[in-house]
Amino acid sequence: MRKAVSVSAPGKLMLFGEHAVVYGRPCIVTAVSQRMHVTAERISDDEFMLDAPDVKVQGYRKTYAELGAGEVPRAAAFVECALSNLRKEHSFGGVHIRTASEFTSQFGFGSSSASTVGMLKAVSELFDLGLSSHDIFDLAYRTVLDVQGKGSGFDVAAATFGGTLAFVAAGKRIDPIDASGMPLLVGYTGTKADTVSVMAGVSERAKRDPKKIESLYTAMGVIEGEAEAALRAKDWKQLGACMNRNQEELERLGVSGEMLDRMIHAARGAGAYGAKLSGAGVGDCMIALVPPEKSGAVRQALADAGGQPVDVFSSAPGVRVE
């Protein structure tokens, strides 16, 4: 009987189709090389303990009877809720969860989804629950809906399956795409976006002008299809052009931001094939496709614009035992 299991799960970046994916259109997501490490250790009492120092959760504990009840700090909400969902289907003993991230929760790389998926995998391995990747995805997606009320599940899909995926909400489609060699460059705006409130703002706008917003989602869905074809053909120039068009639709949706715009224009001006925001928008990260010989110039342009180039690789492996 193992006393502890350590796993790691990747962060993610949305390449195409954010927001539209919440309303039934496909998106493309890639898992990134920076990972969340999760350790699950058996403890004697029927208790859940959590230490997640990156998000300032230390010495947090609940008995299994209390799971989900009382005050749940925001940073513990996903892991606690996922454990509670898991306990509805499986019985197992007390567990101490520790998380340690290779990336800051500020980037929007999906630290909550990576720790949720990592915890489910680690607990499954520790107690021999035999969860498949699809079981982990389903439990993690249910948790996203329980905690956030809304979301496509693209982030937990990336953490679970890894690679680069064409994805439709709730896992209706999870198709790996070979994106090896994709010359992706990432820049951080310096501000954290609150995904839930950005999504709420989009819903408000959709109530006022449903036809317009639906037509934007439809356009984004069409662009995703073209982007998938370009990605499969490794036509980076065409893929960059798709990024620029996707960004235009996101601007119309009202989710870009001053810093995002500045960095996106800086990247294009310095020779990127294309650039767009990634994720909910407003802040977090932008992405660009950059010919290798222009990479230094684009990184410099992002820094000159006040942003921070982030070193990551795409198509990282999904959750795995370490």
Catalytic residue ranges: 155
The answer to whether 155 contacts ligand PMV (rule: CB under 6 A) is yes
Query: Measured at CB, which residue is nearest to ligand PMV?
Result: 279
Considering the rule CB under 6 A, would residue 171 count as an interface residue with ligand PMV? Answer: no
Among 279, 283, 307, 309, contact with ligand PMV (rule: CB under 6 A): 279
Place of tokens 């982007």: 227
Handedness of CA 30, 35, 41, 46 (dihedral sign): negative
Binding piece for ligand PMV, criterion CB under 6 A, among 16-24, 65-73, 179-187, 295-303: 16-24
Q: Tell me how far apart the terminal alpha carbons of the chain are, to the nearest angstrom.
A: 17
Amino acid letter at 256? S
Residue 22 engages ligand PMV in binding (rule: CB under 6 A) = yes
Q: Taking the CA atoms of the chain, what radius of gyration do you get in angstroms? A: 20
Query: Is 221 a binder of ligand PMV (CB under 6 A)?
Result: no
Could you say which residues in the range 72-131 bind ligand PMV, by CB under 6 A? 108
For ligand PMV, which stretch binds (CB under 6 A), given 42-50, 124-132, 193-201, 263-271? 193-201
**Distance between CA atoms of 54 and 99, rounded to whole angstroms?**
8
Q: How far is the CB of 58 from ligand PMV (least distance, A)?
A: 25
Q: Does residue 19 bind ligand PMV (CB under 6 A)?
A: yes
CB atoms inside a 10 Å sphere around CB 84: 19
Residue 125 vs 284, nearer CB to ligand PMV: 284
The single-letter DSSP state of residue 317 is B
CB count within 10 Å of CB 194 equals: 14
Write the DSSP symbol of residue 197. Answer: H
d(CA 183, CA 176): 18
Summary count for the chain: helices (H), strands (E) = 9, 12
Listed ranges 46-54, 119-127, 149-157, 305-313: which one lies at the site for ligand PMV (CB under 6 A): 149-157
Give the binding site for ligand PMV (CB under 6 A).
14, 18-19, 21-22, 108, 151-152, 154-155, 193, 195, 199, 279-280, 284
